[in-house]
Amino acid sequence: MQDELFREMKQAIIDGDPDRARELSLQAIVQGVPPLDAIHHGFLPGLNVVGQQFEAGEMFLPDLVLAGEAMKAATSALEPEIQKAGAARESLGKVVLGTVKGDIHEIGKTLVGTMLSANGFEVFDLGVDVPVESFALKAKELNADLIGVSALLTTTMTGQKDVVEALQRHGLRPRVKIIVGGAPVTQSWADEIGADGFGKDAFASVALAKSLLKKQGKSPVS
C-alpha cells in the first residue's frame, strides 16, 4: 500500500503536478505515513528522475520548473506534520541565496532553493536585486555554511565577484563557501573571481553544495 503511494508521489513530481503532489502529501498524513518517509521515499526519487532526464536532454527547463513547483507543494503540505512530530530534518547546512544587485531574474535561483531545501538544506532566499553587503551580513547573522549567488545578465556578473570580496572583508572566507550560477556564468569565471564552484543547473548546484560541505566536515548523506 505504502509502496504504491510512494510510486504515485514519484510520478507526481515527474509529471510536474503540484495539485497531485499536495493531495498525495495529505493522503500520506491521513494514512499515518511518516512525513520524512514521504519526502525521501516518495517525492525525492521523482526529483532525481527529472534531474537525470534533464541531464540527458529528455526534459527541459519548463519541466524542471514544474517539478520544482510540485516538490514545493508536497513539502509545504508535509512541513507542519514534521514540526508537529518534532521530527525536524537533520540540516545538511545553512545556505543563503540571492540574485545580485541590478538583476531581477529568479526562476533559476528559486529552483535551486527548492532543490536544496528538498535535499535537507536550510535555505534563506534573499530574493532578487540583492545588495552585495546583504549577502555577507546575512551569512554572518545566520552563521551560514554556503552562499549561492545568481546572475542572469553579463552586466551583473561582476556583482558575484563583489560578493566574494565582501565575504573576504567580513572575515567569512574561506569558511563560508560560495557557489555562482546563471546563464552567462562559467567554471572559468568562478575560478577567476575566487568562488568555490559553479552550478550549471539546480541539480548540479545541489551535488556541488553537498560536496563542498562534505569536504568541510559536514558529512551530508547522499
Model pLDDT for residues 116-128, shown as the tens digit of each residue: 887 889 999 999 9
pLDDT of residue 77: 92
Task: Please give the residue range of the domain that contains residue 15.
Answer: 2-85
Read off the pLDDT of residues 57-82 as tens digits, 9 standing for 90 and up: 899 888 888 988 898 899 889 888 87
Which of 61, 85, 109 terminates a domain? The answer is 85
Collect all residues with Cβ–Cβ distance below 8 Å to 97 and sequence separation of at least 6: 109, 112, 113, 116, 123, 124, 125, 126, 147, 148, 149, 150
Which of the two residues, 184 and 7, has the higher pLDDT score? 7
Mean pLDDT value across residues 8-34: 95
pLDDT of residue 86: 59
Residue 207 lies in a domain: yes
Looking at the structure, tell me whether residues 80 and 116 fall in a common domain: no
Which of 37, 64, 85 terminates a domain? The answer is 85
DSSP state of 88: P
Residue 219's pLDDT band (cuts 50, 70, 90): very low
Residue 167 lies in a domain: yes
- CATH number at 154 reads 3.40.50.280
Q: What pTM was estimated for this model as a whole?
A: 0.73
Read off the pLDDT of residues 144-200 as tens digits, 9 standing for 90 and up: 999 999 998 889 999 999 999 999 999 999 999 999 998 889 999 999 999 999 998
- CATH number at 20 reads 1.10.1240.10
Looking at the structure, tell me whether residues 129 and 72 fall in a common domain: no
Mean pLDDT value across residues 201-222: 76
CA pair distance 184, 85, nearest whole angstrom: 44
Count of the separate structural domains present in the chain? 2
pLDDT of residue 82: 75
pLDDT of residue 117: 83
User: Cβ distance 178 to 195 under 8 Å?
Assistant: yes
Looking at the structure, tell me whether residues 101 and 203 fall in a common domain: yes
Which of 27, 55, 85 terminates a domain? The answer is 85
User: Cβ distance 74 to 43 under 8 Å?
Assistant: yes
Looking at the structure, tell me whether residues 102 and 167 fall in a common domain: yes
Q: Could you tell me the strand order of the sheet in which 146-150 lies?
A: 122-125, 94-99, 146-150, 177-181, 197-198
Residue 135's pLDDT band (cuts 50, 70, 90): very high
Looking at the structure, tell me whether residues 77 and 105 fall in a common domain: no
Q: DSSP alpha helices (H): ranges in the chain? A: 2-15, 18-30, 35-37, 44-55, 61-85, 107-118, 132-142, 158-169, 187-193, 202-215
Mean pLDDT value across residues 23-48: 91
